[in-house]
Structure 1
Amino acid sequence: MNTEITFNQLENFSKKWRENPDRLVFQASIMKNGIKAATENPESKARVRPVFSHEVATDKVSNQQQSGRCWMFAALNTFRHKLNGTLGLKDFELSQNFINFWDKLEKANYFLENIIETANEDENSRLVSWLLDTPQQDGGQWDMLVSIIEKYGAVPKSAMPETFQSSKSADLNHLLNERLRTDAVILRKAVNEKTNASALKEEMLVEIYQLLVMSLGEPPKVFDFEYRNKDNEFKQDLQISPKDFFKRYIDVDLRDYIPLINAPTKDKPFNQAFTVNYLGNIVGGAPIKYLNVEMNVLKKAAAEQIKDGETVWFGCDVGQLSERSSGIMDTDIFLTNQTFGFKTKMTKAERLDYKHSMLTHAMVLTGINVADGEVNRWKVENSWGEAIGNKGYFVASDAWMDEFTFQVVVQKKYLSEELLNAFNQEPIALKPWDPMGSLAFR
């Protein structure tokens, strides 16, 4: 079928537009203010209030600036909530740049290993094309954070502060990806010519390490941890290693946390574990693995953890039905259907299948509001600085959570024995381009 738009059709389109002169008011508002501002629903803003029955004490929000490191900011924020409470610190942050450095180096190695593995495949194959599309990026998932911390530990922000390129990552990503694609050409030729690809790869990693050191700084092997607590007492821990720092001060067994996803598509049964092929950052690190559950199970586990005083890492599609200036995320925040006179309704499964929605951003759930025994809204700590939302905090309606939240990470004690057994089974491997393999990068 190859039917063009005719001029008769265009005349009919125009006639139908002119049949409703009331729409001129909408047109004027949209053309002057934009779709979101013109269709914003005041009732939604009044209903989704920043007041909560259960909250975990937190500090000033962090700011990832012009980078896609939300997933590591969110994870480190959950750790600093614990640390600030334990040590009596205020507005203390862990170094996102430290995690960022090791993540980029390890992702480079992960990419080069995959290039060697697939060197005999045509470069136009879907897998090789997928690998070359983004050799590395800022984005990530929870299990990638687990891999980095288990191997390298963590440090305070003072031990490895932000740099220009950590906060504004586009130029570094462009240069690093250009280098990695160049290396891919060399490695694929080396494998096919039966030369030593592993030795070549090590030379490549030496140069990539140097690029990262010049852009981000070199991570400390040991550092001095000095601070004053809430009672103004000076504390000092000299020449501590990053791994010892994490164990001594944060003391979290990351393997006690289970990533739950909600992917209600036909190909992903509930109460089944999944992984994603060719997704990761550290060769031999923590595998990407999650348990697909119904949304009520996911939310219940997250709410219970918040009630017990611990915040929750979660991944969502933040750009959907989200009003940034006030920090409202609600399915009714914009009256677009009423304004334009058509329906834009798909189910959550359809949005995944038809590429309209996926996990794009990671934040932290820090509170809930319970009314008549049910949670009706969630407090969200973002990492976009204090100028966005309510001093950096957002509020999500429960309906929004249902539609646009895809993952939470909770302690395994909040899951039934049946669910734990399901998680511990051999996971089904998804294709690399499956929507549940998307990375949080906003």
Structure 2
Amino acid sequence: MNKEINKQSLSEFKENLKQHAKSEVLKNAVANVGINKVAQNFNNAHMNDTFSIDLKTGKVSNQKKSGRCWLFSTLTNLRTDFAKNYKVKDFELSQNYLSFYDRLEKANYFFKNVVETANLPIDDRKVSVIFQYSNDDGGQWQYSANLVKKYGVVPNYVMPETYNSENTEEFSSIINNYLRKKGLELRELIKKGKSIDTFIDKSMNDVYRMCTYAFGEPVNKFDLMIRDDNEKLIEEKNISPQEFYEKYFNLDLDEYISIMNSPQESKEFNKVYTIDTQGNIVGMTDEKFLNKPIERLKELAIKQMKNGETVWFGNDVGAQSLREEGMLSGELFDYDSLFDIDSKMTKGQRLDTHEGQVSHAMVLTGVDLEKNKPTKWKVENSWGEEVGKKGYFVMDDKWFDEYVYEVVINKKYLTEEEVQQYNQEPIVLPSWDAMA
């Protein structure tokens, strides 16, 4: 049983501190320059940025103060496909166009979840998560695939960024407040046995208006006009976003699936999982993950890049990283030596305790192989050209082991057995799972 902290225990703490020979020096160093500067392993903070496989993807995009990394990363893959096929180096798709529909569809999905859980207590854990994440700008790869399949894509000039698409905090605060209130009202209508269709329709009209004010109103048709690198004009009048996607892009998003690495005792390898109540479009595909050992994620990512395709991947970018330098190194900071502690956990333990999480999405665009084994990886981020090397990061293989949780791979690179595994009925994880 824990004892309370009293004068005697404080005295013992102070006396034990004196036993650490370097405590005075380290205390001054940490106070003056910060923990990370003192704990940083100098030799691990520098890596050569030359790769044996290096896919050219063009200018790095910038999500700014928004959580749309998952969407930016998917559109980077599509943009790269378009640029390769039509020889257009500096080309960008509109993230704002799909952001509009994402927020609209998520509101509708929220109402679906509220209806399905209306008979549960308001303090039920599932209900709590539904209301907590009623409408934000985060997401998974499948969210972006759903949006592209339903709404198509447009060039960035058709629907450019707005203040609110680049700075989502204000809009998120207002729409979440609105939806939570309407969610409570909807629960009450259901409990009283009243009709809810008119209520949801009116609420969704309100959401559409809010999204339009914040992001602009999406087009149904646009004029395509782009010059390729040889100044040849690619032109088509009055084309829809869906027609543009179907005609000008070769990637079939239905052929791509999520392979995750979640080495927890609660999750088996070679099993497929989904997350309860998590999705963005009613009536479309919810996220599914096939759980595999980390070495298999690497093998599949390398196969795909060898064939000239970039790889969307989910990770925990805040761990062991240097933002300005664009460095991701598995042993970048040695906090244990600095504080004389033991804080090491396995990857599975970090997920179990929420120390580890899928916090970000980026794109693998290269890898350096020695005797067919990866030593480091090239990463395209979506934080603009001011960080890393014009927006590109270098990731060592140790960081991949510890902080990469998911890669999106074309099914053609999987074995027949793995495809069968993915086609199993998914095991449903709770909405508060670390992979959510």
Q: Tell me the TM-score normalized by structure 2.
A: 0.98
CA distance in 2, matches of 1:25, 1:90: 52
Equivalent residues of 1:313, 1:409 under 8 A apart: yes
Q: How does 1:359-370 map to 2 (within 5 A)?
A: 359-370=358-369
- Name the counterpart of 1:325: 324
Amino acid at match of 1:207: D
Q: How does 1:37-116 map to 2 (within 5 A)?
A: 37-46=37-46, 48-116=47-115
Quote the offset at 1:368 in angstroms: 0.2
Equivalent residues of 1:71, 1:362 under 8 A apart: yes
- Name the counterpart of 1:8: 8
Amino acid at match of 1:36: N
Q: Tell me, what secondary structure is at the counterpart of 1:57?
A: coil
Q: How does 1:113-192 map to 2 (within 5 A)?
A: 113-192=112-191
CA distance in 1, matches of 2:265, 2:21: 44
CA distance in 1, matches of 2:330, 2:289: 26
CA distance in 2, matches of 1:21, 1:3: 28
- Name the counterpart of 1:19: 19
Equivalent residues of 2:38, 2:338 under 8 A apart: no
Equivalent residues of 1:222, 1:240 under 8 A apart: yes
CA RMSD of aligned residues (A): 1.1
Which runs of structure 1 show a deviation greater than 6 angstroms over 4 or more consecutive aligned residues? none
Quote the offset at 1:18 in angstroms: 2.0
Does 2:33 align with 1:33?
yes
Amino acid at match of 1:145: S
Quote the offset at 1:23 in angstroms: 2.9
Amino acid at match of 2:28: A
Q: Tell me, what secondary structure is at the counterpart of 2:122?
A: coil
- Name the counterpart of 1:270: 269
CA distance in 1, matches of 2:380, 2:27: 35
The gaps in structure 2 that reach 5 residues or longer are none
Amino acid at match of 1:250: F
Amino acid at match of 2:324: S
Quote the offset at 1:373 in angstroms: 2.4
- Name the counterpart of 1:440: none
Does 2:314 align with 1:315?
yes
Equivalent residues of 2:81, 2:251 under 8 A apart: no
Amino acid at match of 1:29: A
Quote the offset at 1:75 in angstroms: 0.5
Q: Tell me, what secondary structure is at the counterpart of 1:159?
A: coil
**What does the per-residue CA deviation read over 1:25-61, in whole Å, with 9 as the maximum and x for residues that have no partner?**
2222221211112222121123x32121111012121
Quote the offset at 1:21 in angstroms: 4.1
CA distance in 2, matches of 1:278, 1:20: 50
CA distance in 2, matches of 1:339, 1:198: 60
Q: Tell me, what secondary structure is at the counterpart of 1:365?
A: strand
- Name the counterpart of 2:294: 295
Q: Tell me, what secondary structure is at the counterpart of 1:156?
A: coil
CA distance in 2, matches of 1:77, 1:182: 36
Equivalent residues of 2:69, 2:362 under 8 A apart: yes
Q: Tell me, what secondary structure is at the counterpart of 1:436?
A: coil
- Name the counterpart of 1:234: 233
Equivalent residues of 1:261, 1:407 under 8 A apart: yes
Q: Tell me, what secondary structure is at the counterpart of 2:435?
A: helix
Amino acid at match of 2:4: E
Quote the offset at 1:2 in angstroms: 4.6
Equivalent residues of 1:275, 1:289 under 8 A apart: yes
Equivalent residues of 1:116, 1:197 under 8 A apart: no
**What does the per-residue CA deviation read over 1:304-346, in whole Å, with 9 as the maximum and x for residues that have no partner?**
1111111000000111111112111112111222211112210
- Name the counterpart of 1:279: 278
> Which shows bigger deviation, 187-196 or 419-428?
187-196
CA distance in 2, matches of 1:417, 1:411: 13
CA distance in 2, matches of 1:243, 1:254: 14
CA distance in 1, matches of 2:227, 2:393: 30
Q: Tell me the TM-score normalized by structure 1.
A: 0.97
Evaluate the alpha carbon distance shift between residue 354 and residue 252 of structure 1 in structure 2; reply closer, same or farther with a 3 A threshold.
same
Amino acid at match of 1:41: N
**What does the per-residue CA deviation read over 1:277-318, in whole Å, with 9 as the maximum and x for residues that have no partner?**
101000111121110011111110001111111100000011
Give the aligned length: 436
Equivalent residues of 2:39, 2:335 under 8 A apart: yes
CA distance in 1, matches of 2:30, 2:77: 40
| Sequence identity percentage | 39
